[in-house]
Amino acid sequence: MADKIRVLLSEEDVNARINQVAAQISKDYEGKSVHLICILKGGVFFTCELAKRLTVPVSLDFMSVSSYGDDTKSSGVVRIVKDLDEPLTDLNVLIVEDIIDSGRTLSYLMEVLKQRGPASIRLCTLLDKPERRVKKQVKVDYTCFTIPDEFVVGYGLDYAQKYRNLPYIGVVEL
């Protein structure tokens, strides 16, 4: 039986907001280049859309970090599944995430990446669930949407590897 999915944010709303956030990032990095670190797998949809809209020079790398497995709640155990291909020394790094909730993964990841010598490091997310934040020190610099504590899919976010390809953000009604 298929899961029922309720639309939370339409494709049009998501695209409009990505345009706004990209314009702000381009303004903030004017005269500089930005090195995007896409957090796989979910972040790839958002990262590609964001990168297309940036007007500053962009380089890109990928990292896979996991704390979920096939569950709807974070396990709290963070694993680097795929590390970066290039060094970060003196780069203006922008970590691009699909969603931030507890902050455990990003807290761990930010500490790891800061040790690699970037000129700056900032965080951009499509979705933020601040009411779920356990790691309060995680500061999100660019947020497209702040959402309630519901399990969401679409636009790269999945439920047991399903629904990443939805062009909108939806809530799986279990």
Question: What is the set of active-site residues?
Answer: 101
Residues β-bridged to residue 64: 40, 82
CB 4 within 8 A of CB 153: no
Residue (of 84, 38, 80) closest to 58 by Cα position: 38
Rounded to 5°, the CA angle 52-55-56 comes to: 110
Residue (of 107, 148, 158) closest to 128 by Cα position: 148
| Burial (CB count within 10 angstroms: exposed 0-12, middle 13-18, buried 19+), residue 141 | middle
For the chain, the farthest-separated pair of C-alpha atoms sits apart, in whole angstroms, at: 52
Handedness of CA 37, 86, 103, 166 (dihedral sign): positive
